[in-house]
Amino acid sequence: MMKRRLTAFLAGLLLGASVGAHAGPAEDRKALNDYYQQRLPQIKPGDYIYGALALNPDAKDQYDSIMIFPPFVNDVDDGRKIWEKPFANGKLFAGCFPGGGKNVAGDYPYFDNAAGRVATFENAINACLKANNEAEFKYGSREMGLLTSYAKSLSDGMKVNVKVEGPGALAAYEKGKQYYYARRGQLNFSCATCHIDYAGAFIRSEQLSPMIGHAAHWPEFRAGTELFTLQTRFRQCNSQVRAVPLEFNSEEYNNLEYFLTYMSNGLPMQTPVFRK
């Protein structure tokens, strides 16, 4: 029994290594989809957006009930007020985005060739503030989280559509991929250890979710109104494996977000959501 478990574990690591180190973006995504279809055949492709809930019908039913009247509606409304509050010059956030901000969040992150780095949706928010002579929001702050909770909700149902085009974008994607597969911390875990090698398994009482779909629903509210952004979750995961978390908006985290979001291409966005 132990030998079979070890063999399966090593097979998972080898698959992770082959996907993570040698393939291009399209091949990465296809290989992961094929892998999960074999490992977790009970998950329908469109249900990856639900994470571990897709593996637990009872938990998914509870989630659906909560989302009828989500406990964070007042928080999202606070985000709406920030979005709709005019700048000192009379302009609005909506003026910084095509379509007034509707159906745009699924295009983020993207590689900004002029800046030579990945631009996240939060970066676009701060670029809007700067262009209108307003003070930028602190990356990772609750104020930024509330604003993006509402602003991204304007793209609910939009399919994630991140592009990796050109040498700069590909280099950033590869760096994000390398970070995802690199082991770190005292526990010597990578992101892939939990979400590829052990996807569907349990750590204590928590079932580990597959990687695909991870980036389609942030920010999220946990235990009611505790707000988590995607990069907050990156920092939390680093701490849990006893590694030193990086700074919000670091090149490493932005590249990781770029890679991770690309893997959710084609899935519909839903922002924000509830998680326990």
Residue 189 near residue 180 (C-beta atoms within 8 A): no
> In the 3-class helix/strand/coil scheme, how is the chain assigned residue by residue?
CHHHHHHHHHHHHHHHHHHHHHCCHHHHHHHHHHHHHHHCCCCCHHHHHHHHHHHCHHHHHHHHHHHHCCCCHHHHHHHHHHHHCCCCCCCCHHHHCHHHHCCCHHHCCEEECCCCEEECHHHHHHHHHHHCCCCCCCCCCHHHHHHHHHHHHCCCCCECCCCCCCHHHHHHHHHHHHHHHCCECCCCECHHHHHHHCCCCEECCEECCCCCCCCCCCCEEECCCEEECHHHHHHHHHHHCCCCCCCCCCHHHHHHHHHHHHCCCCCECCCCEEEC
The residue written with tokens 């526990």 in the block is: 187
Which residue type is seen at 200? Answer: G
Q: How many residues would you count in the chain?
A: 276
Residue 150 near residue 76 (C-beta atoms within 8 A): yes
Q: List, by residue number, the catalytic residues.
A: 237
